[in-house]
Amino acid sequence: VRGQDREQDLAGRRVVVSAGGTREPLDPVRFLGNRSSGRQGAEIAAAAAARGAHVTLVAANVSVPVDPAVADVVAVETTAELRDAVRDAARTADVVVMAAAVADFRPAAVAGTKIKKTAGAPAAIELVENPDVLAELARDRLRAGQVVVGFAAETGDATGDVLAHGRAKARRKGADLLAVNEVGDGVGFGVADNHVTLVDAEGRTVHEVGGTKRAVADGLWDAVVPLLGAADA
Ligand code: CTP
Ligand code: CA
């Protein structure tokens, strides 16, 4: 739907979007991180605001400008901080979109002072697993009727192509929608255009959308709107 209807089809809705990439400190100057700029998540937040939503953006090291129409921006660094901020905002949200690239692991210990070069081989970095924020949201449903949306960044490998991995991930996560997104050299991260296949919790294709990250964002909201219950009076 174009024009007036689509323009305000999120009026009165509260949405939470996470964007960017979490960083896990090793010491005061170093971290384990990823290449996410936050551009796609920032566009999802901006598109929702343009369609009338009250938007909270949980921004993990986002390196692109955020549309001033986004009502709240909560800056976070680590996965633990992102989890707290997303869950806090999700308690009153109609929709949560996890567009952030969340670190799967973090160093088991964080040095209080800068790690120094030593003679001999460096010590291996021991990692522990982070909580899966999206799977928790899908399980807990912090607000009744809440729509939970995730992203699946995939490259495809010997065991399956991008979509096969995406469908399997959708079934594992339990989110209402998973936006399956090819990443790698020159695709997905850090580039202007994007292409996603939206699959449901059973891995069935619901919607396909490509083009600018803003077009992908609007395509995502087009798929979310029909899943929303009646708006609060
Ligand atoms: N995600 C999350 N918490 C994590 C890891 C991922 O909430 N600890 C979310 C991401 O924000 C994204 C979705 O889960 O919406 C899928 O992330 P992805 O990295 O593609 O999937 P993983 O389940 O981490 O699997 P893998 O990295 O092994 O492909
Ligand atoms: Ca991951």
* Positions in the chain whose pLDDT score sits under 50: 1
133 annotated ligand-binding residue: yes
Q: Is residue 107 in contact with ligand 1, taking CB distance under 6 Å?
A: no
Classify residue 129 as exposed, middle or buried by CB count within 10 Å of its CB (0-12, 13-18, 19+): exposed
The question of whether 194 is a catalytic residue gets the answer: no
Q: Is residue 130 in contact with ligand 1, taking CB distance under 6 Å?
A: yes
| Atom number, ligand 1, closest to the C-alpha of residue 149 | 15
Tell how far CA 126 is from the center of its chain. 26
pLDDT in tens, 64-121: 999 999 999 999 999 999 999 999 999 999 999 999 999 999 999 999 999 888 767 7
- Atom 16 (ligand 1): residue with closest C-alpha? 152
131 annotated ligand-binding residue: yes
pLDDT at 224: 98
pLDDT over 90 for what percent of the chain? 82
Q: What is the ipTM of this complex?
A: 0.99
Type of residue at 226: P
Nearest ligand (C-alpha, residue 90) = 1
- Answer for the pair 53, 45: CB distance below 8 angstroms, yes or no: no
| Atom number, ligand 1, closest to the C-alpha of residue 129 | 8
Look at phi and psi of residue 68 and say left if phi exceeds 0, alpha if psi is from -120 to 50, else beta: alpha
Q: Give the pairing type, strands 54-60 and 127-129.
A: unpaired
Q: Is residue 175 in contact with ligand 1, taking CB distance under 6 Å?
A: no
pLDDT at 189: 61
- Answer for the pair 110, 25: CB distance below 8 angstroms, yes or no: yes
State in Å: Cα 219 to ligand 2 middle.
23
Q: Is residue 162 in contact with ligand 1, taking CB distance under 6 Å?
A: no
DSSP 225: G
Tell how far CA 209 is from the center of its chain. 17
Cα 106 to Cα 104: distance, rounded to the nearest angstrom: 7
pLDDT at 230: 79
- Atom 24 (ligand 1): residue with closest C-alpha? 104
Q: Which one from 34, 130, 181, 194 is the annotated catalytic residue?
A: 34
Q: Is residue 9 in contact with ligand 1, taking CB distance under 6 Å?
A: no
Q: Tokens standing for 206?
A: 């619901």
SS3 11: coil
pTM over cut 0.80: yes
State in Å: Cα 152 to ligand 1 middle.
7
5 annotated ligand-binding residue: no
213 annotated ligand-binding residue: no
From residue 195, give the alpha-carbon distance in Å to each of 40, 180, 216, 224: 11, 8, 7, 17
DSSP of 201-213: TTS-EEEEEEEEH
| Residue (of 144, 160, 167, 170) closest to 90 by Cα position | 144
pLDDT at 54: 98
State in Å: Cα 101 to ligand 2 middle.
7
